[in-house]
Amino acid sequence: MRSPCRFIIPRSRGTVTLPGPPTRGPRLDVRRHGGVSGHPSGGGGERLSSSSTSSSSSSTIITTPIFYVNAAPHLGHLHSAVTADCLHRYKVLQGFRTRFSTGTDEHGLKVQQAAEAAGQDPLSFCTAVSERFRHLFVTCNISYTDYVRTSDPAHRRAVQTFWTALRSKGLIYKGTYEGWYSTQDESFLTPSQVVDALDPSGKDIKVSLESGHKVEWMKEDNYMFRLSALRGQLLGWLRGNPGAVQPDRFYQDVLQWLQEELPDLSVSRQRSRLQWGIPVPGDPEQTIYVWLDALVNYLTVAGYPHAHQQWWHSANHVIGKDILKFHAVYWPAFLLGAGLPLPQTIHVHSHWTVGGKKMSKSVGNVVDPVEKSRRFTPDGLRYFLLRQGVPESDCDYNDGKVVKVLNADLADSLGGLLNRCTAPALNPAQRYPPFCSALFPSDRPAAGGRATPEDHRMLGAVRDLPAAVERHYESLHAYKALEAISGCVRLTNGFVQRHTPWKLDRGDEGDRRWLDTVLHVALECLRMYGTLLQPVVPEISDKLLCRLGVRPDERSWAALRFLPRSRGMACPFEGRALGSDSGVLFGRLEPVNTDNRKPKKTLKHA
Ligand SMILES: Nc1ncnc2c1ncn2[C@@H]1O[C@H](COP(=O)(O)OP(=O)(O)OP(=O)(O)O)[C@@H](O)[C@H]1O
């Protein structure tokens, strides 16, 4: 489906697809040709930096984790992707040059075993699952610019070069690893991270304290990375960069880990155990540890080892809390070892649970995001994930909650406001009506004015909104941004309701001017909401802004300028024709039947 307002404009490097109308299939063609999606003001354009905490450089890399292909994607994976996509779209609106990568992590024992079980060779198996992830991301308008697969030859070259760099610095040595290992988590554990448990048959086993997955005692010759030698430097980096891991509770976790023992890390497996992976350069009997392999994907995207400098200086990773140690301890240690810049920020989010249990492939309690995006629309699902997902704490999923949130915020509140203010009955000229400053003076209530103190308070709240939303998007607390926006939408609905413009007399000069002013103010509020919501619900925002007649080049952060007429400045929209009406903004969803009782049987009369 093509959106009515999709524009492609040429710029100095490549092709740019503007962010308003995220599209499905065709969008990928643009990327394949090296285009960067969604950039309203051109590469390195000016950005509003009132409260921005970003690097002074205007280019940045945003990443999701690459997803392990041992099973199909679930809602938790989409959550990471939507969170990173929100950050990416927001940065683009601010004028940053961005790369946004996602992809699939394809090596390792679990994949090798899953392929065997499916009777396929590993690469065919990975290709099929990787395509399912890609399909999900396209369906849900994830505006990635790079899709990495760890089975790609370019990635393999990057990993082997990276390995060689660490080895040449004496940071990798041949040794013997002996200790607990979880194949499920592909991770090593210290004795304090292991507890006793019983398997389903009642047999004594050891499991990981954190994940609950079974662990085994392992002893084998392989290569070790001198992680212990880097502990001091890691601590120094973290202490000097309190924003490097966000939110703070996760930063504190990493600090705590770094204060404990940090043994050297085994970074290879014997080839006889693991064939599906990248061989150690110069030692075909060993395979590179999947996490070292997977983490290097971020450098592959940046062009490592040849042209990474222009991108590898401001990386923002978005990850689930389950992989924090890999990203906040191992990854920075590898980068320090290789003499490369460390990530700017590691944004961590918590988990979606089902009935209180983490949604997870291995548990099998997963929610299918493709099915949900069909039911609730891609934007509906995106909105719900970001409105309800709180980075600091887990959140339980159920369909009833989705319906409630979407009906209240998108269908009734925002959709209702747009509908009211653009309805031909109230706005027969179908134009952005004029604003009368005598009726709505900027200084509080004044003689001849009709605006109330409450109206002024509403204006103040909307005027302050971009700065608050900016702060929340920066820290990836999208739920707070959406809370603030929906609070303002409610205030604007209250404003319209208070002045009942439908009761005003068009034949009376004063009433007509006031009606126009009320509509002008409400449309200005809607323009703000449409612009600010673009990172979260690109299709809905596009529809809203198209209806208001706001052009794609008027949708950046810098173009926000709320209600300029109230400050005596010209408003470019005043008098402009509204866009065509393309139907309801977001259709109301049927409530979910929570009554699980079976319908009563009616007794047949003999
Ligand atoms: N329940 C979840 N809630 C939010 N994000 C999740 C969830 N599960 C996975 N993710 C995201 O996907 C990333 C990779 O997860 P992974 O592939 O290990 O999924 P999983 O279902 O937990 O798998 P497994 O059960 O095999 O451990 C996580 O780091 C996180 O970013």
For ligand 1, atom 28: residue with the closest CA: 320
Average pLDDT estimate for 68-76: 93
Ligand 1 centroid distance, CA of 276 (Å):
21
Ligand 1 centroid distance, CA of 523 (Å):
41
Nearest atom in ligand 1 to the alpha carbon of residue 323 is 29
The rounded distance, in Å, linking the Cα atoms of 62 and 151 is: 21
Instruction: Give the residue, out of 113, 322, 395, with the most ligand 1 atoms within 8 A of its beta carbon, to mutate for a pocket test.
Output: 322
Q: Would you call 365 exposed, middle or buried from its count of C-beta atoms within 10 A (0-12, 13-18, 19+)?
A: middle
Packed helices 453-474 and 478-499: angle between N→C axes, nearest 10 degrees? 160
Ligand 1 centroid distance, CA of 77 (Å):
6
Cβ of 362 closer than 6 Å to ligand 1, yes or no, is yes
Question: Model confidence over 188-225: pLDDT tens digits?
Answer: 788 888 999 998 889 999 999 888 889 999 888 999 99
Is pLDDT at 166 greater than 50 in this prediction?
Answer: yes
Q: In this structure, what token pair is assigned to residue 137? A: 């991301």
Instruction: Give the residue, out of 66, 80, 133, 366, with the most ligand 1 atoms within 8 A of its beta carbon, to mutate for a pocket test.
Output: 80
Cβ of 266 closer than 6 Å to ligand 1, yes or no, is no
Q: Which of 357, 429, 427, 366 is nearest to 395 (CA)?
A: 357
109, 251, 256, 454 from 69: Cα distances, Å: 11, 29, 31, 54
Instruction: Provide ipTM, 2 decimals.
Output: 0.96
Is pLDDT at 12 greater than 50 in this prediction?
Answer: no
Cβ of 319 closer than 6 Å to ligand 1, yes or no, is yes
Question: Model confidence over 269-306: pLDDT tens digits?
Answer: 999 888 999 999 999 999 999 999 999 999 999 999 98
pLDDT of residue 57: 54
Question: Model confidence over 109-143: pLDDT tens digits?
Answer: 889 889 999 999 999 999 999 999 999 999 999 99
| Cβ pair 194, 180 in contact under 8 A | yes
**Which residue's entry shows tokens 């009406």?**
581
Q: Which of 294, 323, 299, 333 is nearest to 313 (CA)?
A: 299
Instruction: Give the residue, out of 87, 214, 361, with the most ligand 1 atoms within 8 A of its beta carbon, to mutate for a pocket test.
Output: 361
Cβ of 361 closer than 6 Å to ligand 1, yes or no, is yes
For ligand 1, atom 12: residue with the closest CA: 77
Q: Which of 12-21, 145-154, 237-246, 348-357 bottoms out in mean pLDDT, i.e. has the lowest?
A: 12-21
Composition of the chain by helix, strand, coil, percent to 5: 45, 15, 40
User: To 10 degrees, the CA torsion angle through 372, 80, 477, 250?
Assistant: 140
Report residue 569 CA to chain centroid gap. 36
Cβ of 110 closer than 6 Å to ligand 1, yes or no, is no
Please report which confidence band the pLDDT of residue 446 belongs to, taking 50, 70 and 90 as the band edges: low
Question: Model confidence over 339-378: pLDDT tens digits?
Answer: 999 999 999 999 999 999 999 887 889 999 999 999 999 9
Nearest atom in ligand 1 to the alpha carbon of residue 64 is 31
Ligand 1 centroid distance, CA of 360 (Å):
6
Average pLDDT estimate for 399-410: 97
Instruction: Give the residue, out of 64, 77, 185, 350, with the most ligand 1 atoms within 8 A of its beta carbon, to mutate for a pocket test.
Output: 77
Ligand 1 centroid distance, CA of 359 (Å):
8
Dihedral (CA of 354, 322, 314, 294) sign: negative
Packed helices 231-240 and 331-338: angle between N→C axes, nearest 10 degrees? 110
Ligand 1 centroid distance, CA of 25 (Å):
26
Counting residues of the chain whose pLDDT is more than 70, the rounded percentage is 88
Please report which confidence band the pLDDT of residue 444 belongs to, taking 50, 70 and 90 as the band edges: low
The rounded distance, in Å, linking the Cα atoms of 53 and 453 is: 34
| Cβ pair 226, 219 in contact under 8 A | no
pLDDT of residue 36: 27
**Which residue's entry shows tokens 């809607």?**
526
Helix (H, G, I), strand (E, B) or coil at 176: strand
Average pLDDT estimate for 57-83: 93
Ligand 1 centroid distance, CA of 76 (Å):
6
pLDDT of residue 595: 54
Q: How many CB atoms lie within 10 A of CB 235?
A: 15
Bridge partners, 182 (sequence order):
187
For ligand 1, atom 5: residue with the closest CA: 76
Which residues, 6+ apart, have CB-to-CB distance to 577 below 8 Å?
Answer: 430, 431, 549
Instruction: Give the residue, out of 360, 368, 384, with the most ligand 1 atoms within 8 A of its beta carbon, to mutate for a pocket test.
Output: 360
Is pLDDT at 5 greater than 70 in this prediction?
Answer: no
Bridge partners, 395 (sequence order):
352
Helix (H, G, I), strand (E, B) or coil at 391: coil
Nearest atom in ligand 1 to the alpha carbon of residue 358 is 1
pLDDT of residue 181: 87
Please report which confidence band the pLDDT of residue 594 belongs to, taking 50, 70 and 90 as the band edges: low
Nearest atom in ligand 1 to the alpha carbon of residue 353 is 1
| Strand bridging mode 172-182 / 214-225 | antiparallel
User: Which of 57-61, 158-162, 356-360 is most confident?
Assistant: 158-162
Ligand 1 centroid distance, CA of 93 (Å):
29
For ligand 1, atom 20: residue with the closest CA: 360
User: To 10 degrees, the CA torsion angle through 350, 355, 361, 366?
Assistant: -100
Calculate ∠ Cα 232-233-234, nearest 5°: 90
**Which residue's entry shows tokens 């408003």?**
571
Nearest atom in ligand 1 to the alpha carbon of residue 105 is 17
Q: Which of 24-33, 177-186, 518-527 bottoms out in mean pLDDT, i.e. has the lowest?
A: 24-33
Helix (H, G, I), strand (E, B) or coil at 259: helix
Nearest atom in ligand 1 to the alpha carbon of residue 74 is 21
Higher pLDDT, 598 or 407: 407
For ligand 1, atom 11: residue with the closest CA: 77
pLDDT of residue 362: 77
